[in-house]
Amino acid sequence: MRGACDCHAHVCGPESRYPYASNRLYTPEDASAADYRRMLDSLELERGVLVQPSIYGTDNRALIDALASNPARLRGVAVVPYDIHARELEALHQAGVRGVRQNIVDLKEGRGVLPLDDLRRLALKVKPFGWHVEFLMHVDEFPQLDRQLADFPVDVVFGHLGYVPAAKNTTEPGFQALLRLMKDGRAWVKLTAPYRLTTSAMPYADTDLFAAALVDAAPERLIWGTDWPHVFIKTAMPQDGKLLGLLEHWVPDRAMRKRILVDHPAQLYDFTRP
């Protein structure tokens, strides 16, 4: 499909050139920009968005070099310190970055915390560039999410269908708060990585309920991605073509799928509209 975009993927390695953070949770296999472009070609996707993985912290060199390999085709989401200077943001923008990522998942404490004051200050810094803030967080941990982010200065994006374990339900207050944010036009959600919500096998049927709720609530606030190369995965390695097939299952309407694959990414990531 012309202009179709994978909105969530990562590049990793080689470690000899792009050293990993010492406190990382995993060490991935090498996954280069060239590998990624070949994957996009195999799915007939014209565009991709590379998201800075946690293994690099705020060292965005691997991301920036990957974006430089095909600047018309690729955009990026970086991880930056709260005290970043506007000059550094400008350089990232010129490199193709269009958002910043915040990891709110706390594997040690068991529950994430939203540093709202720091996040608002960062959002005000990136707002002049038209960027968004992307969250990796379990939205079910935040029942007041819509109130907490009601006056947030920029759009927010949530990965992995809101990252609610499939053992829970769409009635979770935090998930309902996410739906309200979407309906209010404040939040986007990525239809990505259903395998991170469940221990079931492809097609991850116990995640369908969450996908259906998102599609029913605000399909105009959805985007899709592969989560390639599927790092830190605890289930069987998925086939990217089958992940794309899940989108057809979740969104049977072809016109809406086109909006999710083409129009919404063009808007959010500043691609030229096809």
pLDDT in tens, the chain (274 residues): 899 999 999 999 999 999 999 988 889 999 999 999 999 999 999 999 999 999 999 999 999 999 999 999 999 999 999 999 999 999 999 999 999 999 998 655 567 889 999 999 999 999 999 999 999 999 999 999 999 999 999 999 999 999 999 999 999 999 999 999 999 999 999 999 999 999 999 999 999 999 999 999 999 999 999 999 999 888 899 999 999 999 999 999 999 999 999 999 999 999 987 6
CATH of the domain at 162: 3.20.20.140
Residue numbers of the domain that contains 132: 5-269
Q: What is the pLDDT of residue 110?
A: 63
Residues contacting 171, CB < 8 A, separation 6+:
none
Structure tokens at 264: 């919404």
Q: What is the pLDDT of residue 235?
A: 87
Q: Is 71 exposed, middle or buried (0-12, 13-18, 19+ CB in 10 A)?
A: exposed
pTM for this predicted structure: 0.96
Q: Is 227 a catalytic residue?
A: yes
Q: What is the pLDDT of residue 263?
A: 97
Residue 148 inside a domain? The answer is yes
Closest CA to 178 of 133, 206, 213, 209: 213
Residue 49 inside a domain? The answer is yes
Residue 140 inside a domain? The answer is yes
Ordered alpha helix ranges (H), the chain: 33-42, 61-68, 86-95, 116-126, 145-148, 173-183, 208-217, 240-250, 254-258, 264-269
Number of independent structural domains in the chain:
1
Residue 274 inside a domain? The answer is no
The pair phi, psi for residue 30, each rounded to 5°, is -60, 135
As a whole number of angstroms, the distance between CA 135 and CA 119 comes to: 11
Q: Which of 140, 155, 227, 263 is the catalytic position?
A: 227
Identify whether the C-beta of residue 182 lies closer than 8 Å to the C-beta of residue 157: no
Residue 154 inside a domain? The answer is yes
Q: What is the pLDDT of residue 107?
A: 57
Identify whether the C-beta of residue 3 lies closer than 8 Å to the C-beta of residue 262: yes
